[in-house]
Structure 1
Amino acid sequence: MRNRKRLVAGLTSIVAVSLMLAGCGGNGNSNGGVDGPTTSASAEPTATASADPVKLTMWGAVPAENGPQEVVDNWNKENSDIQVEYVRFVNDEAGNLKLDTALMSGQPVDMYVNYDYSLYEKRIKAGNALDISSFTDYDVNEKMGEGAAFWKVDDKYYGVPTQKGLSFVWLNKDMLDAKGLPVPTEWGLDEFRDYAAKLKDDKVWGLAQSDYYFNVPINGSMLKQSLQLTNPDGTSAFDNPLTVKALQVYSDMMFTDKSLMPHTEQITSKPALDQMFVKGESAMLFSTNQIFRTTNNVAEFPRSFKVAAAPAPKVNMDQADYINAGGLGDVVAINPRTKHPEAAWKFIKWYADGGMLPMAAGGRVPSSKDFPVDEAVALMFKGVEDTYDLDSIKRVMFGSLPLGLSRLDRKTGSEQQAIYDNVFSRKLTPEEGAKELARVHNGNLQTTSK
């Protein structure tokens, strides 16, 4: 019996030693994954370890079904070693708070899209955006043009601006043709007003425009001075003759020409301006690429006329230094806490130069010079090509208009909106409105400088 016990004990020891030796042999990567310790020269990675892909998450505000999901699906099919998941957040106060909380709390965010400069700058200052200057294989200035530099902070890029977000004017080309009016390639507010007056009739407004766009010609006239729209001495530039003229022209269109729906009536009735345009109730519409969702939807909004495009009007036709407010946007940044910055960078380059093609169907205009423009246009107007004046669309959306980005803070913008409301309800004259715009701006400039 005693010998039998010794035999069992001996066998047990042999098995234990064998297991220990097995545990020490083979792959030196104790984690069995791509981020574990480096293996020795003689060690071979296991098949499981080599097959594990890098996993990245990209946060953006566009609904997945409007392009982003197809983008990541295309990438994932072509890159089995790097797999990307798209996470949507809503681009409002609550949605941006959700993204910022995720960045600060270490939730899985490898890449994310910025839509607002002030939030982008705050994320950089908070250490939540990677300085991409260490990547030397992609020249953002050369790829995206001069408009990209407005997204520099302390002369560095912390993301890649991937799309053009300019505002422009949509036109009912059939109505223009009936009046013998050419599609404008350049114009000022006087010409803009003249077109609206000639195109209106008892059942058609000459122009439909929401209050968001009243400041586009104004800001575009001042961007040459400063991204903050200030004079060289640091004071607000809003109190100037160009601002007064813009406010006066819009007031005249509402109350003298009656070619533009009065502001108070628009606030009260809350019309769907894009639907007014496609229904032929307005000859022109000041908007952005968001109108594609309506103009392309000919099943729900059938129309017989062709849609053309013209650039946003300058205040004065002869302004050589006018800059189109809006500029580049959709800035894709890398979370500095990601474990895979190189993989994220590889995806962003691919996305900017061609991968974001499915986003074009929803009207997002790629900014990279290397993007296949004809493919983007074909996607944007697939099935409805004959209902657009494509030459004018290409000229405006894919042309070389000088683009700028206003860095006016949100507080000033919100407070200035109340002043526009007062001007266009005739509680303030255009001259008084310009002074009030400057007063509010100067007050906030002093607050932020302290």
Structure 2
Amino acid sequence: MKKKFWSTVFASSMLIGALAGCSGGGESTSGSNEGKDSGSTEEAVTIKFHTHGNESSYNWKETIAAFEKEYPKIDVDLVILSEKGDTQEATQKLDLAAASGEQLDILMFSDPASYAQRVALGMVAPIDEFIEKEGYTVNEDYKVDTKIDENYYALPGKFNPWYVLLNKDHLDEAGLEVPTDWTWDEFMEYAKKLTTKDHYGTYFHGPQGGSWLEFMKLALASEEDNTEFVKADGTSNLDHPLFRKTLEMRYKMEKEDKSATPYSDIISQKLHYRNQFFGQDASTVLIGSWMNTELGGTKQFPLDFNVAIAPYPKNDASDEGGFTPVTTDFMSVAANSEHKEEAYKFIRWYTTEGQIVQGKNIPSWNGISDEDFGTIIDGILAGTATPEKVDKETLVNVLKNAKSSKIIPPVAYQSELYKVINEEYEKMILGEQDIDTTEKVTQERVQEIIDNNK
């Protein structure tokens, strides 16, 4: 982490502190007290839980009631930081709460950047002593390894790996099987065979406007480590051959194979992956498994075909496979908490048994039984319009075998990098420069940004 960045963020948090008196926190609701041992002489502890998750998405009332029944000496006071589930709003309110000295015990972060930044600011406590006392290994118990600088500051909640949505009807028409293990070369071949006069073989939703840069590190993201544009030591990773491989794949599929929706159409027509997939304009779409709740179709996007799921492609047939971009909730203990042990008990319970009680997402926890896993999947699909059109077996197979790459804490100037990489890609895909020039100029511009931020 660059010293310049953290001093800037710290200064920002002090500014937030000055404004804290003018801003309220989130909605606070206490969990159920059923099951409390009111006759005991031991006093119950109340811990505050600040989260971006709203009730409809996270089923907090039932979840917290179950925890309090199992731990009758711990009351959980829930603070919902954004009723609409807006993670940016929630993070701003959390910073205000920290700057104004509010009680903080359990913190929930929605992405690696928010998590890593608050760790660096000293807002989050390491939990290694609790993990060691309990005697388990995080990267064995969970699919997401949350380690930062040799310490653990969070346990992962939900598990949303990226995967490939497949129009099963289109595959049947092309005589193609649903892949259970495949490479990028095979993915490209599938897209080529699936392309007809009526639809493209695949649709890539990014990059665009400096966002959705996951689509500029396709091959990198199939690896266990070094999956970002900047390495953990702060040096550029754009000389990695897998960055060039991604450029080559994107160019070949659009310009030579003509199997991918043209980038110019995506930008000019403001296309979206939901419309492209459910409207059957693309046979495959690479996207995150937050789409689980929509796989069977919705009122807005009804499903008129059968859907299957394939894993994120790997680079070589001999590779271990399963690695993919993953989103999760990082469950942490606040550094200033006076009840760290109780807060830890909650995050450990919530990221294991609590995920089953909640029933809203696939857990990162590896200890979930096949029966519970199936029950959660059934519950998620049951909320869609036509769950019978989803190939549940392929979905379960992908979700069970997906793995998260190692976390590389994001740099402060990440948005600058994204903008540059996006700009140079556009020049390439719109015919203004070749792949060699794109690679060279992107490396030079990114290095300049890195040097300016040392």
Q: What's the counterpart of residue 54 of structure 2?
A: 63
Of residues 82, 88, 101 in structure 1, which corresponds to 2:74? 82
8 A Cα contact 2:202 2:283, kept in partner = yes
SS state at 2:247 partner: helix
Counterparts of 1:80 and 1:341, CA distance in 2: 17
Q: What's the counterpart of residue 160 of structure 2?
A: 165
Structure 1 unaligned residues grouped into runs of 5+: 1-46
> Are residue 72 (structure 1) and residue 64 (structure 2) matched?
yes
Q: 1:49 to 1:416 in 2, by over 3 A?
A: farther
Shift of 1:308: 1.3
Alignment of 1:258-337 (within 5 A): 258-314=258-314, 316-318=315-317, 320=319, 324-327=323-326, 329-337=328-336
Shift of 1:133: 1.6
Counterparts of 1:365 and 1:425, CA distance in 2: 39
Q: What's the counterpart of residue 174 of structure 1?
A: 169
Q: What's the counterpart of residue 16 of structure 1?
A: none
Give the letter for the 1:392 counterpart: T
Alignment of 1:130-209 (within 5 A): 130-135=125-130, 136-137=133-134, 139-141=136-138, 143-145=140-142, 147-148=144-145, 151-209=146-204
8 A Cα contact 2:217 2:243, kept in partner = no
Shift of 1:184: 1.3
Counterparts of 1:116 and 1:298, CA distance in 2: 26
Q: What's the counterpart of residue 220 of structure 1?
A: 221
Counterparts of 1:223 and 1:143, CA distance in 2: 15
SS state at 1:365 partner: coil
Of residues 91, 97, 101 in structure 1, which corresponds to 2:96? 101
SS state at 2:352 partner: helix
Q: What's the counterpart of residue 416 of structure 1?
A: 421
CA offsets 1:311-345 (integer angstroms, 9 cap, x no match): 2223x434627673424631100112223222212
8 A Cα contact 1:222 1:229, kept in partner = no
CA offsets 1:90-142 (integer angstroms, 9 cap, x no match): 55545423212212322233211123333322212222111112212152425
Larger Rg: 1
SS state at 2:382 partner: coil
SS state at 1:238 partner: coil
TM-score by length of 2: 0.77
Counterparts of 1:216 and 1:322, CA distance in 2: 16
Counterparts of 1:303 and 1:144, CA distance in 2: 36
SS state at 1:280 partner: coil
Of residues 112, 119, 124 in structure 1, which corresponds to 2:114? 119
Q: What's the counterpart of residue 24 of structure 1?
A: none
Counterparts of 1:146 and 1:48, CA distance in 2: 41
Shift of 1:406: 4.4
Q: What's the counterpart of residue 365 of structure 2?
A: 368
Give the letter for the 1:83 counterpart: D
8 A Cα contact 1:238 1:435, kept in partner = no
Q: What's the counterpart of residue 390 of structure 2?
A: 388
Q: 1:231 to 1:127 in 2, by over 3 A?
A: closer
Counterparts of 2:382 and 2:178, CA distance in 1: 23
Q: 1:385 to 1:50 in 2, by over 3 A?
A: farther
CA offsets 1:341-368 (integer angstroms, 9 cap, x no match): 222122111111121236553xx33111
8 A Cα contact 1:231 1:237, kept in partner = no
SS state at 2:196 partner: coil
8 A Cα contact 1:195 1:206, kept in partner = yes
Give the letter for the 2:75 counterpart: Q
Alignment of 1:417-436 (within 5 A): 417-436=422-441
Q: 1:217 to 1:293 in 2, by over 3 A?
A: same
Structure 2 unaligned residues grouped into runs of 5+: 1-37, 207-211
Give the letter for the 2:392 counterpart: L
CA offsets 1:173-216 (integer angstroms, 9 cap, x no match): 12212211111123233222221122222222221221024224
8 A Cα contact 1:253 1:260, kept in partner = yes
Aligned-pair RMSD on alpha carbons? 3.1
SS state at 2:134 partner: coil
Counterparts of 2:358 and 2:306, CA distance in 1: 23
Shift of 1:78: 5.1
Q: 1:416 to 1:68 in 2, by over 3 A?
A: farther
Give the letter for the 2:53 counterpart: V
Counterparts of 2:394 and 2:64, CA distance in 1: 31
Q: 1:428 to 1:321 in 2, by over 3 A?
A: farther
| % identical aligned pairs | 23
Q: 1:385 to 1:300 in 2, by over 3 A?
A: same
8 A Cα contact 1:61 1:88, kept in partner = yes
Give the letter for the 2:365 counterpart: S
Shift of 1:378: 2.3
Shift of 1:430: 2.1
Shift of 1:228: 6.3
Q: What's the counterpart of residue 26 of structure 1?
A: none
8 A Cα contact 1:189 1:246, kept in partner = no
Counterparts of 1:359 and 1:256, CA distance in 2: 47
CA offsets 1:30-73 (integer angstroms, 9 cap, x no match): xxxxxxxxxxxxxxxxx799597433332222332112424334
Q: 1:276 to 1:290 in 2, by over 3 A?
A: same
Counterparts of 1:438 and 1:311, CA distance in 2: 30
Q: 1:349 to 1:386 in 2, by over 3 A?
A: same
